[in-house]
Amino acid sequence: MEKKKISVQIEGRNYSLITTDDEKYVHKVANEVVSHIRKVAQSTKQLDTRDCAILAALNFCDDRNKAVKKNKDYVEKADKIIQQTNELNRLCKEYRDKLTESMNDNTRLTMNNRELEKRIAVLRHEVSQLKEKLGSVEKSEEKAESKKSEPETNSVPKGKKISSAKNNITEQSDNIPVNVLSNEAKKTEQELRNEELLGYVPMTQFSLFDEDKK
């Protein structure tokens, strides 16, 4: 910017200033200097204008140094706040990344859980089918066992048949000659013994008085 000459008046004296600043700003500064000089003159009336100007300059320098120090403190505090903010941003990003990872893990676990539930449902269905098949097999085996046991239940005990045959022989012996009775009894007892040895007793009993046997 182009420099220019600006005249100001302080306590009755004119001062020419060469500056690039705006003229209004320069006059404002000059008015502040006059105000400080008059303030010092009012507090100490024994001082002349020169001494008051020196004291005003000292006050200006003191205020400036304090302002610079305060500004430095502010800058340091601002730097600390910036560092803390950066650290918080870093932690925030770290937590955000962990949260995103946790959400992804949760989504993955949810999907795996659904797959497992589907598999469990399929396995339960298969187990139910196997139980039904097992029940059918057990019923079939029970029926087969019951069918096997029916002939044994309906058959007459062998000893009872032998006893019955002997009783029949005894009851009918009165009407049969002695020699015929003896032969037929021997033959019948021998047949029953043979059948007993073979493990089978026929249900049909033959009469001892068939014409062929006579």
Per residue in 175-201, pLDDT (tens digit) is 545 454 455 555 555 665 665 555 544
Say how far apart CA 112 and CA 107 lie, in whole Å: 9
| Greater model confidence, 126 or 48 | 126
**pLDDT band at 212, cuts 50/70/90?**
very low
Could you give the 3-state DSSP secondary structure of residue 52? helix
33-86 residue pLDDT tens: 998 888 888 887 778 888 888 888 998 899 999 999 999 999 999 999 999 999
Assess contact for 49 and 41: CB atoms under 8 A. Answer: yes
pLDDT over threshold 80, residue 213: no
The single-letter DSSP state of residue 20 is S
Q: What is the band of 27 on the pLDDT scale with cuts at 50, 70, 90?
A: very high
Q: What is the structure's pLDDT at 41?
A: 86
- How high is the pLDDT of residue 48? 84
Please give the Cα distance from 28 to 17 (Å, whole number).
13
- For 10-20, letters b (16+ CB in 10 Å) and e give eeeeeeeeeee
Q: What is the pLDDT of residue 177?
A: 53
Q: Which residue has the higher pLDDT, 90 or 161?
A: 90
Which of 45-49, 165-169, 170-174 is the most confident on average? 45-49
Whole-number average pLDDT of the chain = 78
Q: Where are the domains of the chain?
A: 4-72, 156-198
